[in-house]
Structure 1
Amino acid sequence: MFIIPGKHQEQGLSYNPFKACVLPRPIAWISTQSAEGICNLAPYSFFNAFSDDPAIIGVGIAPDSREEGVKDTLQNILETKEFVFNLVSWEQRTAMNESSKPAPADVDEFEAAGLEKLSCNFIKPYRVKGAPVHFECKLFKTVDLPENDAGEHYTLVLGEVLGIHIEEAYLTDGMVDATKMQPLARLGYQDYAVVKEVVQLVRPTA
């Protein structure tokens, strides 16, 4: 079956298969702070790492359905140039989902989701207590992606990682242990996956 993106219904599919075919996708649970000091927390599944020297991560943020058209996360990053990536574990799946609920800009999603805050070393936004990993990030640049038929566009946010917090309980022999963290990943539709098993493939030499 050959599908043209955005034309899936014309080809007999009720839902767009694009995101269901790019899987599993890590979830960026992004915490920010407005210029006025209001905390914001929201999950994004268009996320990955793009460089390790320097350490660069990227998050794709959709346009907002509200009149101003910009999500609070993006607005805060543009204003302050800072944000935190919090890794979502299986244990925090419900809180992560709760923080995805649309809310006014003056609502603190940490409080709404019943989450505690941890301070950062280099930046003002708070970290999510209980998350296995946190990246303290500064904005590198934003890129406006192509507009859709409605004239809206996603924004790609690229951030440089200034520091990494890792809970020592999730380290084994000095290495991050994914089976201990059990990170949550996004699939298509309303589906998620959790990492409970890993396999090793040693890269062959030339």
Structure 2
Amino acid sequence: MFYETEKNDHGLPHNPFKAIVAPRPIGWISSFDKDGNANLAPYSFFNAVCDTPPIVMFSSSGYKDSVSNIDATGEFVCNMASFGLKDEMNQSSAAVAHGVSEFDLAGLEMAASQLVKAPRVAKAVTALECKHLQTQRLKTLTGGETDNYVVFGQVVGIHIDDSILVDGMVDVTLYKPLSRLGYMDYASVTEVFQMGRPKA
């Protein structure tokens, strides 16, 4: 089958786009607003974009609290969601009023960060402390503005729980990072294989 995205004439019961671009890691973004209110929200349009320096990004549909908080304070933490925290991650995605703490909503304890003021999820086995680089509002092919915002942050500090280190390397099969698929589907990493890069 083939369909044009502008026409959206795929004839399927649900838009397949997010099921095709999958799996997507979940950036569980924690921040403070300028008044010190904590916010926590999962974003499946998230990834690392380079490693020297380490930079991550997430994209928000709508100018939500996470984006406005980061624009105002210049800091955030990306907590990596794991299988053991899937219910808490899902609970924190609820649309609540500004000022309502998703940490409280999901029954999660905050932990202090080392280099940023934004809190992190205490139970998250990895967390990336980030300084804001830029927020970009996306445009269409015709130059029209969308209601989508991409936030870039440079990672300045990394937390790793020793329990997931094996022979000096992070073993993702121990904490099973969550990924977002299409529709209402999620997956977790439980199997890993290696392939060496071929030489030309």
TM-score, structure 1 as length reference? 0.93
Is 1:166 the counterpart of 2:160? The answer is yes
SS at match of 2:71: helix
Structure 2 counterpart of 1:67: none
Structure 1 counterpart of 2:43: 44
- Counterpart residue type for residue 73 of structure 1: S
The 2-side partners of 1:113 and 1:6 are apart by: 37
Structure 2 counterpart of 1:34: 33
Is 1:154 the counterpart of 2:153? The answer is no
The 1-side partners of 2:134 and 2:46 are apart by: 15
Aligned 8 A contact 1:144 1:154 in 2: yes
> Paired residue for 2:136, among 140, 143, 149?
143
Structure 1 counterpart of 2:180: 186
Aligned 8 A contact 2:115 2:156 in 1: yes
> Cα gap change, 1:148/1:107 in structure 2, threshold over 3 Å: closer, same or farther?
farther
Structure 2 counterpart of 1:19: 18
> Cα gap change, 1:117/1:148 in structure 2, threshold over 3 Å: closer, same or farther?
farther
> Paired residue for 1:91, among 62, 84, 104?
84
- Counterpart residue type for residue 72 of structure 1: D
The 2-side partners of 1:54 and 1:120 are apart by: 20
Is 1:121 the counterpart of 2:120? The answer is no
SS at match of 1:131: coil
1:39 Cα deviation (Å)? 0.1
Aligned 8 A contact 1:147 1:153 in 2: no
RMSD over aligned Cα atoms: 1.6
- Counterpart residue type for residue 161 of structure 2: E
TM-score, structure 2 as length reference? 0.95
Structure 1 counterpart of 2:2: 2
Residue deviations 1:134-172, cap 9 Å, x none? 000001111111259996421111100000000010011
Residue deviations 1:57-102, cap 9 Å, x none? 0101111xxxxxx211011000001000000000000000000000
Residue deviations 1:9-50, cap 9 Å, x none? x33112111111011100000000000000000000001111
Structure 1 counterpart of 2:59: 60
1:205 Cα deviation (Å)? 2.1
SS at match of 2:139: coil
The 1-side partners of 2:141 and 2:67 are apart by: 19
5+ unaligned residues in a row in structure 1: which ranges?
A: 64-69
- Counterpart residue type for residue 21 of structure 2: V
